[in-house]
Every structure is written in C-alpha cells, then in structure tokens.
C-alpha cells in the first residue's frame, strides 16, 4: 500500500496537531519541533560548559583533522549525555511534549513569529487583489517527445482561491549569459603577499563564502575596473555577485579563456588608497537550455542539478542593482534609512528578500518583506552608555557585573579605529571585539617596537597625541587578534546584524511589533518592493532579454479538514502529582503586597489544575520573596531542587534564561515561570493555558489525536490491516560564527506509543558543519530499543520520518545515506525484519506566503484576513521535478501565516 497524495498531506497536517503542551496546532510536525528544540537545548548546554574543544590548526593534514574532530565529538557526546539525562521536567529519555519547540513561528510571518496588538494600516499600498492573475502550469511534452508523467494532485478538501507572492519572469527561454570568473587580491602594505578578497579557486566552481561587507568592497573594485577598462566593458552592463561570478550578455571582446590580471587602485571608505589585483577569466556560456528542453518535453528525465546553474545566474542578475543602494544581509536587502530606534543599542531595519524559483509555471521571482535588528553604530563610549543606561561614562565606576554585561554585548561585533593619520587624514583599521577587561589604559603594559616596556596610555600619548587624554576609569577592549584598545578610539560599525544569541525578549518583541501587518498590507508592501526592484533593474534585465511581470500569481488551493482531538479528559495521562512545590518571588511589585497576590492567584491555579487531572497540594513547602539577582536564583533553586516543581514569579527580564539554566540543566528540577503582571492582574483564559504547560512539564498529556486520525489508521487502509507505526523527527544544528572547532549536533526523536504523544530522544555530535548524520543507525537503534521496552518487545512495522534542515542540494544525499542506516539499525536488533519507510523533508525557512483572494467574514462578521489552517497547495508553484506541497497547519491572527514545505520524493515505502 503506497501512500496517496491525500494520505501524505493528511499525515503531515494531523501530526501538527499532536502537540501535548498546548491544545493548538503548530506550524511544523510535532517530531520536527521536538528535534529542533532538542538541538537547541544541547547547543546551550555545550556553550554553557565552555568545553575545551581542540581548535583548528593551520596546515593540519586530513588525518590530523579527522583525529581532532573525533576527539571533539567524543567530548561533546560525553557532556551532552550527562546533562540531558540529568535535567528536570522533561523526564530523561522518554518525555511527553516537554518544552516549547515549534511555537516560534505560530501566527507569524517572515520568520518573525509571535503575536501582538493590531498594527495600524499602512496607507497607499497597492491592492494585489486587483493585480493578481492566474497562470497556467506549463504543459510538458509535445510532438515526438516522451512527456513526463505529471505529479498527481490531492483531491481532499474544499477549494480556496489564493494569491501567492511569486511573480512570473518572461524572456528566459531565449537568453544566454556569459560567465566570467573574478579573483581579487589586495597587496599587503608591508609587501609580504596578498589578502584574498574573493571566494578563491578559479574555474566557475563554488568556493568559500565571503562576508557581506567584503562583497560590497569587491563590487566597488570591479566597478572601478569596468569604468577604466573601456576596451572590455565599454557600453556593456554586467552583474557581479561580489564573491566570484560575473555575468555579461555578450562576451567581453578582450577577455578570453586565458586569465588577464588588472591592477585597480581605489580608496575604500575611510581607508588609505590601496591597490588590488583583479584576475578575470572567461569560463563558459550559461544557457537556459536545460530549462527549455525540460518544459518543451525534450528532456523529461532532467534533475534539479541541471537547473541550478541557470537559476543561480538569474538570481545574481536580479540582485545586482538593488544591492547597490541597500544593505545586504544574507539573502535579504535592507534600507539604510527610515529605521526605528529600539532598546539595547539596536535599530529595526526594514527591507525585502528576493529569490528565483523554478516552478511548474516556469521561472518566477519571489519577494517578501524582511525585518531584522541592526546594531546601532557610532562611538563605542556612547554604545556602552546606552547599554548600562548611564549619562556620562567619564564619571562612572565600573563594577565586575558591568564589565561582564558589556563583554556579553560586544562579543563578535566589528569596530574600527581611526586614530592613525596618513598625511593628516584619519585612516580606518578594523577589529572584531572579544570582551572588555578590567585592566585600564594606564595599567596595561606591552613591549613597543624599540623593545621598551610602556603602558598603553604612554604609547598613545607619544605616538598619537591628537587623541587627547584617554579614559582612565574604563577597562580596555580586547580584540580577537589579541590587541588591547582604549574605548575612546573605538567606533562600532553601522549596519551590523544583531547576533541571534544576543537578542533579548524585548528586542524580539520590538521586531515582531514592527513586522506586524495584516496580509493585505503585507502583500501591498511586497508589491512595492517588486516594483522598486523592477525599476532599478530594468535596464540590466533588458540587456539580458529578461522582463519581470509585476503581477502576483493567483491559484486555487484546498482546505483540509482538521483532525478530531481527544483532550481535557480525566483518562489522559496526568503526569506525576505535585505534592511538594515552592513559590519563589523575585518581583518588587508583587513583594509590596505579597500574601494578597499569592492568595488571589494560587487557589485559582490549583482549582484549574485539578479540573484537568493535575494533583497539586493545597499549600507549598515554601513561599518566599527575594531580591532579583542571579546569585539568589541559583541559591534558591539549589536549595529546593528535591521538590516536584518550583513556581517562580519574575518581572520582564532577560534573567529568565538563567532560571531555566539552573533548573533544567544544572540542578534538574522542574520550574514554571509566571510574569509578575499576570500574577497581579491575571488575563482571561490565562489559567487554562498555564496549567496545560504545567501538565506537559510533569509528563502529562493535554490532547491526543483520535484513533482514526493517527498515521497507523491511514497506513493500514482498514482496521484489519493497521500497522504499528513510529513517527520520527530529525534535525541538525551547527556551531555559530567563530566556533568552527565545536562539532555539529544531531538530534532525533521518535514516538514510542500508539497515541504519538510520548517521544524518545537521542543526541549525538558529528564533525563541524556536517548536515548528513553518518551515525544515524546508532541513534535509531536507541529508538527501537525504547519502542520495544514500551511495546512488549515488538518493533514498528512502519516508520514515518520528518527530516528538517536539508537544503535542496542535499535531498538526494539524505535518501542515499540516512535512509539505509535505518535498515542497518533494524538488522542489528532483528535481522531481515520487514518494515516500510516514508520520509518527508520539511523546509520552513523560505518566503512563500499566501493570502485569500476573496474577502470573507467569519460568523461574527469580522474579515478573515489570513488563510485558514489546513490550506494546502501542491501544483503550479511547486518544483517541476519534485513531489512536494505547501501546508499551512495553524491559524494566523494578523499577518501571513508561515507555511512548511513538505518534499515527499521519499514516499518510497521501502520494504527494507
């Protein structure tokens, strides 16, 4: 029984409802959410332990690299195993919905997630409903050809008219682009070699990535070369990606396959005049023939790799002109002005993302709104004043806590100094900050160029007297190259994205608020972005024969029926009783009337908990109120770690992370936080949601799928043929920038009960930046052993695997590497046991958005602004070579819902 398209879509939608923590669907299947959460937890554990991983050594051999990575993986595994087994709340290896994975995108758009109050409507945005047009799925085939069999569509559900943020591109069928390889090197001032500015190896092959700011410098270098080299570039328009690839519609008359090197002298912003060596070489003509032949039916056996080069060329052409005036951050482009100042040295930047998609309707451009947090640039002294909320840094006495706080905020940020003069003109020099040290400018000594020991203050006074008197009350900045710098001469670069690890809840809320638009407004702003890109790129696109059609695509989707859920019933698993619990308060507002607030909140909480089967003792073991410090929190949690649960009241503060660190990872006791304003003025419906979270944290179940909605019922076809089924979620997380020695972390969770509400978890390290899991057989063996222990030594007959985090280029590798390892795991337990595998790859980091075409109202007469839960699209805008569908599994409140893309080429139902 091979699963039909309808069954695949139903399984995916239903598994988004089997969420034990809250009785609402989430945006991705539950196993994927748990695996994602598990990866994040493991990474936090590793970062908190500051493990002594062996760093990468310059010039190490391949064998030395393997030995070093194996040692680092072994160290990671040992520490993760110890800490993940000992944590509280989740219950060790088999936990039932503990945590909060999968909630971050619920009801959100553009990756910003969250919820908030209704934003004001932005006036003067286009009405895309008046512009949208239906496009036809290109017919594949023709006279004398063998047409590719079209992917069947699903049929379940009521039809719904939709608009999608994809815009057709025309003219691509006839164009050809000429690819040139660019290599840029900067001559060192000391005459000893060059600095590599571009991606490296020649020949049009992929190489190392280049930072966004260096891409901008490389583009300026090539622009200067093109302006000066009229014999080659005179009158020709081109597109350069800033890394390596340059595309021109015609061949450059003087550049052939033999490389040509040109010297380009240029003064970049704030730096002295420098000489770059630019090597340019003709590589080949990039043709659209693979796309044309496929859609005309002359190559029905094409694969996605055949399209990749043409798709990459079109991406670079479309991005080149907008990138000249906008700030590039990855695939997003942000405005330089009009930013809103946020708290904690951040600015909220607005822009757009754009990408090229090959779909069943042809080549299309995808546009979406983008929002991010940028670090506020300017003098580092002003940055520190804002961080510590002080008015004058010169009269401030720094404490150890101040230095720790500043160090955490500046780590990894790029600064520049301009105290060096060249013919009286200040010259920039870049540094990456590491931390602030307690040592002052008059205390730090080093050996100068004459071999004399001098203080940093003496050195600046003698060498750079124009800097004036340096601050003696502020610690020095230590850069990653080991240099110590006075804060007076340091300036924070503008347009730096705020590192995700430094985002506070307040920052996230500010970004969420700024990004909140209802779908009509959001799509109107997307239309504006598309029009702006078309206007600035029109001449360049015309030189290649391309045209962007400024009409969003209209299509018909389907709405699947929601599964039936069983919940709020006594017979569901309630979890362990809370006979011994504590209440700790760290809010001054609550402390002012402590007993009154306690008496108003906790009796009602206990009453609601008992209604859903949670047994909570009438009185706590202890209830106390202390001053909010990390030291007090750690001492209190350590003292009460033997209790069943600790309820903790906090004000709005980043110290929430410390509570979870000490409770979940250090002392292994379940903690449940309460925001002070909710304790003093409890919102309507708050108690029910709060006790759902409490129930999941103590191993209970809030809801389960009705038996007829579980995957085993779908797989069997009828009640006589139901198969025992295990649902699995897999994800991999990688170390951040500057942590290349830290291994990647793979996590896998698998259901071990028939209701798909109890999951067994396993975590393992692997070499850095490795997405495929070479040891997945060992991880899966643990799942099978846990399943046997729960199910009378039986093994699952079917495995439904949801794999997260796989890029388009690695889809085939997942099938070739990881799926056979499941067979190996089965064989290690029971040789030749027959079972079937259905594997999905789930991609959630994309920018496809939908909105309803028709204006409709709900039962209360309110306009339905968003697409409903269960909306599925499996045609027109999907990849022509893959069996995939877009699914919205949750109801968004204000702005376009985040959809997950399910790639089901692996519906192989292997009988392995």
Residue 112's pLDDT band (cuts 50, 70, 90): very low
Closest to 121 measured CA to CA, from 806, 690, 698, 863: 863
Could you report the per-residue pLDDT of 792-830, keeping only the tens digit for each?
Answer: 999 999 999 999 878 777 777 877 888 899 999 999 999
Closest to 111 measured CA to CA, from 308, 330, 376: 330
Which one is predicted more confidently, 526 or 191?
526
Angular region, 242: left φ>0, alpha ψ -120 to 50, beta rest: left
Distance CA 251, CA 336 (A): 35
Structure confidence at residue 538 (pLDDT): 94
Could you report the per-residue pLDDT of 521-580, keeping only the tens digit for each?
Answer: 889 999 999 999 999 999 999 999 999 999 999 999 999 998 887 765 555 566 678 899
Quick one: what percent of the chain has pLDDT higher than 70?
85
Dihedrals phi, psi of 67, to nearest 5 degrees: -65, -45
The pair of three-digit structure tokens given for residue 687, joined into one six-digit string: 């108690």
DSSP states of 823-868 = HHHHHHHSTT---EEEEEEEE--S---EEESS-EE-TTS-EE-SPP
What residues contact 475, with CB distance under 8 A and at least 6 apart? Answer: 398, 403, 436, 437, 438, 439, 440, 487
Residue 280's pLDDT band (cuts 50, 70, 90): very high
Q: What is the DSSP letter of 573?
A: -
Evaluate if residue 779 carries a pLDDT over 60.
yes
The pair of three-digit structure tokens given for residue 353, joined into one six-digit string: 């993302």
Evaluate if residue 663 carries a pLDDT over 90.
no
Dihedrals phi, psi of 398, to nearest 5 degrees: -80, 135
- The pTM assigned to this predicted structure is 0.83
Is residue 107 within 8 Å of 894, Cβ to Cβ? Answer: yes
Residue 140's pLDDT band (cuts 50, 70, 90): low
Beta bridge partners of 556: 161
Mean pLDDT, rounded, for 187-202: 73
Evaluate if residue 86 carries a pLDDT over 60.
no
Report CA 615 to chain centroid distance, whole Å: 39
Distance CA 492, CA 339 (A): 17
When mean pLDDT is compared across 109-118, 142-151, 167-176, 376-385, the lowest value belongs to: 109-118
Could you report the per-residue pLDDT of 506-522, keeping only the tens digit for each?
Answer: 788 888 888 888 888 88
Structure confidence at residue 117 (pLDDT): 35
Angular region, 539: left φ>0, alpha ψ -120 to 50, beta rest: alpha
Dihedrals phi, psi of 522, to nearest 5 degrees: -60, -45
* Helices of type H across 100-188: 128-131
What residues contact 368, with CB distance under 8 A and at least 6 apart? Answer: 110, 165, 352, 353, 354, 526, 847, 849
Structure confidence at residue 12 (pLDDT): 87
What domains can you pick out in the chain, each with its CATH number? Answer: 5-113+704-911 (3.30.420.10), 378-493 (2.170.260.10), 574-697 (3.40.50.2300)
Could you report the per-residue pLDDT of 319-349, keeping only the tens digit for each?
Answer: 999 999 999 998 899 998 888 888 778 999 9
Q: What is the mean pLDDT of the chain?
A: 83
Angular region, 442: left φ>0, alpha ψ -120 to 50, beta rest: alpha
C-alpha dist (Å) from residue 102 to 20, 378, 462, 656: 12, 37, 58, 19
Which three-class secondary structure state does DSSP give residue 567?
Answer: strand
The highest-confidence range among 44-48, 269-273, 666-670, by mean pLDDT, is: 666-670
Is residue 107 within 8 Å of 897, Cβ to Cβ? Answer: yes
Evaluate if residue 123 carries a pLDDT over 60.
no
């Amino acid at each position: 029984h091979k699963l039909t398209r309808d069954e695949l879509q139903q399984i995916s939608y239903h598994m988004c409802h089997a969420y034990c923590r809250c009785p609402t669907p989430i945006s991705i299947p539950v196993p994927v959410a748990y695996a994602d959460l598990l990866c994040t937890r493991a990474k936090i554990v590793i970062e908190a332990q500051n493990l002594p991983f062996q760093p990468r050594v310059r010039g190490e051999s391949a064998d030395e690299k393997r030995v070093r990575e194996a040692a680092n993986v072994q160290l990671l595994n040992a520490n993760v195993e110890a800490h993940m087994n000992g944590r509280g709340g989740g219950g060790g290896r088999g936990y039932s919905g503990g945590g909060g994975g999968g909630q971050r995108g619920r009801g959100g758009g553009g990756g910003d997630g969250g919820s908030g109050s209704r934003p004001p409507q932005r006036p003067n945005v286009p009405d895309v409903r008046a512009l949208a047009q239906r496009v036809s799925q290109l017919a594949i085939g023709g006279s004398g050809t063998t047409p590719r069999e079209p992917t069947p569509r699903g049929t379940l559900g009521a039809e719904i008219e939709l608009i999608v943020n994809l815009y057709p591109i025309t003219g691509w069928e006839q164009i050809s682009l000429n690819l040139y390889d660019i290599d840029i090197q900067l001559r060192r001032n000391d005459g000893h070699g060059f600095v590599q500015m571009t991606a490296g190896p020649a020949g049009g092959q992929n190489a190392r990535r280049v930072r966004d700011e260096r891409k901008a410098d490389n583009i300026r270098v090539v622009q200067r070369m093109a302006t000066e080299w009229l014999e080659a570039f005179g009158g020709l328009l081109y597109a350069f990606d800033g890394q390596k690839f340059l595309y021109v519609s015609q061949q450059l008359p003087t550049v052939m396959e033999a490389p040509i090197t040109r010297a380009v002298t240029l003064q970049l912003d704030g730096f002295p005049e420098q000489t770059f060596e630019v090597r340019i070489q003709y590589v080949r003509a990039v043709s659209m023939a693979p796309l044309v032949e496929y859609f005309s039916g002359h190559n029905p056996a094409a694969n996605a790799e055949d399209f990749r080069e043409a798709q990459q060329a079109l991406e670079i052409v479309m991005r080149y002109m907008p990138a000249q005036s906008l700030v590039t951050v990855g695939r997003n482009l942000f405005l330089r002005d009009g930013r809103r100042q946020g708290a904690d040295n951040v600015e909220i930047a607005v822009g757009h993302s754009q990408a090229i998609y090959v779909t069943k309707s042809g080549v299309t451009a995808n546009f979406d709104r983008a929002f991010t947090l940028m670090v506020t640039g300017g003098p580092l002294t002003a940055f520190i004043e804002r961080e510590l909320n002080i008015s004058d840094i010169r009269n401030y006495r720094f404490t150890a806590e101040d230095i720790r706080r500043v160090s955490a905020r500046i780590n990894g940020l790029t600064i520049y100094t301009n105290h060096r003069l060249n013919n009286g003109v200040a010259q920039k020099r870049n540094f990456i900050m590491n931390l602030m040290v307690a040592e002052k400018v008059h205390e730090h000594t080093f050996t100068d160029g004459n071999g004399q020991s001098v203080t940093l203050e003496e050195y600046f006074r003698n060498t750079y007297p124009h800097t004036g008197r340096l601050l003696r009350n502020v610690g020095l900045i230590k850069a990653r190259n080991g240099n110590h710098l006075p804060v007076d001469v340091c300036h924070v670069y503008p347009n730096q994205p705020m590192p995700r690890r430094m985002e506070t809840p307040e920052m996230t809320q500010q970004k969420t608020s700024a990004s909140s638009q209802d779908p009509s407004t959001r799509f109107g702003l997307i239309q504006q972005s598309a029009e702006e890109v078309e206007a600035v790129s029109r001449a360049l696109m015309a030189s290649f024969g391309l045209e962007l059609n400024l009409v969003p695509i209209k299509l018909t989707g389907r709405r699947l029926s929601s599964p039936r859920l069983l919940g709020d019933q006594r017979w569901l698993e309630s979890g362990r009783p809370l006979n011994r619990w504590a209440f700790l308060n760290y809010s001054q507002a609550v402390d002012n009337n402590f007993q009154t607030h306690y008496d108003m909140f906790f009796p009602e909480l206990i009453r609601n908990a008992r209604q859903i089967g949670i047994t909570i003792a009438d009185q706590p073991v202890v209830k106390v109120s202390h001053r909010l410090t990390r030291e007090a929190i750690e001492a209190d949690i350590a003292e009460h770690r033997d209790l069943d649960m600790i309820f903790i009241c906090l004000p709005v503060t980043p110290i929430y992370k410390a509570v979870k660190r000490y409770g979940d990872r250090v002392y292994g006791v379940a903690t449940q936080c309460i925001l002070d304003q909710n304790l003093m003025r409890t919102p309507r419906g708050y108690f029910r949601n709060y006790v759902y979270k409490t129930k999941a944290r103590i191993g209970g179940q809030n809801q389960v799928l009705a038996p007829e909605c579980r995957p085993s019922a779908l797989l069997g076809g009828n009640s006589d043929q139901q198969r025992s089924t295990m649902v699995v979620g897999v994800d991999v997380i990688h170390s951040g920038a500057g942590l290349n020695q830290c291994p990647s972390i793979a996590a896998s969770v698998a259901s071990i009960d028939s209701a798909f509400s109890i999951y067994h978890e396993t975590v393992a390290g692997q070499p850095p930046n490795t997405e495929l899991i070479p040891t997945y057989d060992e991880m899966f063996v643990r799942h099978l052993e846990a399943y046997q222990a729960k199910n009378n030594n039986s093994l699952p007959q079917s495995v439904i695997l949801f794999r997260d985090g796989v890029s388009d280029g690695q889809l085939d590798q997942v099938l070739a590497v990881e799926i056979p390892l499941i067979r190996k795991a089965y064989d290690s337990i029971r040789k030749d046991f027959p079972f079937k595998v259905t594997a999905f790859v789930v991609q959630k980091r994309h920018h496809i958005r939908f909105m309803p075409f028709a204006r409709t109202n709900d039962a209360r007469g309110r306009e339905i602004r968003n697409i409903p839960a269960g909306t599925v699209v499996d045609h027109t805008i999907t990849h022509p070579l893959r069996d995939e569908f877009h699914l919205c599994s949750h109801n968004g409140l204000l702005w376009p819902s985040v959809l997950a893309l399910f790639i089901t080429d692996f519906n192989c139902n292997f009988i392995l």
